[in-house]
Structure 1
Amino acid sequence: MNVVLIVEDEILEREFLTMVIRDELHPEDMLLTCDSGIEAVKLAKQYRPNIIFMDLMIPEMDGLSTIEEIRAFLPRSNITILSAYSDFSYAQKAISLKVFEYLLKPIKPSALKEVLGKMLKAGISPPAPASADKSPVVESLEIRDERSTFIEESIKYIEEHFKEKLTLEMVATKVFVNAKYFSHVFKKEMGVAFTDYIIQMRIQYACRLLETTNYQAYRISSECGFSDPSYFNRVFCVKMNMTPQNYRKYSHVVNHHDSASKMI
């Protein structure tokens, strides 16, 4: 029987990890979760997990200190670090603590399943010794930059399809991430909610069409992905502090002034 411990203080990320990991375990396996370092040590002493997923930034005691304490009584448990930071100093410390893997957040389900599979296969045996330049931890920092890949893929897809009907669930599916987790990470990384990001792109495109075409507002609304022209007008007014018609007049005046200045 495997005993798996997840240590993660962010609720959505803990739910994501729990959902993915539970699907890979057998009915007789035990899955434990907690949100702090002190609680992690307590659970580790009580249940002796052979597999641990440890976030670095957790309350009461940071992840590396928690691992160091757990290693004192569970020297052969396989521990994978979950971190939003690729600082090499963390990797060096992780190597000294014989960490199995170092995963950068946000983590794709496929990457999590792959690492879990290796940990399950390894059982309670620690990974084979490796030199620092070949350590799985170092390799993780070099090739598992899930954060940039995750964001780049989703942004690229949005840029290609923002003029169409586009939902959070659709984009999350395209980048193989749970919708709730995608929403949480997208806002955290981009500084704006998914829906607001889409609206910003559509309004920017609307401004370009107002400047370069004679399309009526209802057509521009449709071209930009808005299904309701009245909603488009309301949103445009909120974002640009003027109506689409006034923006067109304003842009024409500005462009005419710029052209006259260049001629002078």
Structure 2
Amino acid sequence: MITLLLVDDENMMKEYIKFIIKEEDMEIAVFEASNGLEAVEKAKQLQPNLILMDIKMPHMDGLEATEMIKKEVPLTKIVFLTAYDKFDYAQKALRLGAYDYLLKPISPEDFKGLINKILAESHQNQGDVQNTTTLAPEDHVIKGAKEYIEDNYSEKIQLKDVANHVGLSPTYFSKFFKRKTQMNFSIYLNMARIEKAKELMRETTLTLNEISYRVGYEDLSYFSIVFQKYEASTPSDYRRRDMTK
């Protein structure tokens, strides 16, 4: 049976999740918290399999609570459930070790899919699944991969370079990274680079060509295409808007 901690200051959301669980006859023991502080205390007491965590709450928000919970109960899977569709939130959630990031209102199908995925992974972890190399703890692998990207985003990073850094085969690492972060490695790398580019646009007077090169894109045209894909704006338009704020 899964132990679930629902953390939200809105009772309606918690009642909605409990309704889905009841309607689908899921074997889930549900506990509740109304803010981040309460969530930290209950997580230490219950050590739940899964926490559904809202981000915007009084007293302590979901991001702060997650940071504390991960130190106390590192194996707990935390899924952010929020109405705020912002990359900054998603990026920080992933950096803190979040299992997933879902937007409200979550559909019954998405919730069932989440629970089924957790159950499937639990069964897989109980089996004799081995890699050809010694696998470090999961959080350590993802943390190491993200730190490598953070330190080398200006270079020509390839998936095999990061896989080698964390001690896994490229094929295994690719599947592992997607399963843990819910995105392909290439997407995460591009998103990280675009965030760095936005930071340079805000804080420096570097030309777009210089910024492109500094975040790992040798061709300005390609950088512009990637930037527009993730930001729905050209780099020049983004910089112009930022300067008028």
Query: So what's the TM-score if we normalise by structure 1?
Result: 0.47
- Cα root mean square deviation, aligned: 3.0
Tell me, yes or no, if structure 1 residue 4 matches structure 2 residue 4: yes
- SS of the equivalent of 1:13 reads helix
Give the drift of 1:12: 1.2
Give the drift of 1:136: 1.1
Aligned to 1:51: 50
Aligned to 1:136: 182
Aligned to 1:76: 75
Give the drift of 1:137: 6.3
Q: Which amino acid letter does the alignment assign opposite residue 7 of structure 1?
A: V
- SS of the equivalent of 1:60 reads coil
- SS of the equivalent of 1:32 reads strand
Aligned to 1:34: 33
Contact 1:95 1:137 in 2 (8 A): no
Give the drift of 1:123: 3.0
Per-residue CA deviations over 1:141-199 (Å, capped at 9, x if unaligned) read xxxxxxxxxxxxxxxxxxxxxxxxxxxxxxxxxxxxxxxxxxxxxxxxxxxxxxxxxxx
Distance 1:110 1:70, change over 3 A: same
| Counterparts of 1:101 and 1:70, CA distance in 2 | 15
Identity of aligned residues (%): 36
| Counterparts of 1:18 and 1:7, CA distance in 2 | 12
Give the drift of 1:108: 1.1
Gaps spanning 5+ residues in structure 1: where? 140-264
Q: Which amino acid letter does the alignment assign opposite residue 76 of structure 1?
A: L
Give the drift of 1:118: 1.0
| Counterparts of 1:99 and 1:122, CA distance in 2 | 16
Aligned to 1:25: 26
Aligned to 1:103: 102
Give the drift of 1:21: 3.1
Distance 1:39 1:20, change over 3 A: same
Contact 2:70 2:97 in 1 (8 A): no
Distance 1:138 1:60, change over 3 A: farther
Aligned residues: 139
Query: So what's the TM-score if we normalise by structure 2?
Result: 0.50
Aligned to 1:116: 115
Distance 1:118 1:57, change over 3 A: same
Contact 1:21 1:116 in 2 (8 A): no
Give the drift of 1:75: 0.7
Distance 1:55 1:42, change over 3 A: same
Gaps spanning 5+ residues in structure 2: where? 126-137, 147-176, 186-245
| Counterparts of 1:138 and 1:16, CA distance in 2 | 31
Larger radius of gyration: 1
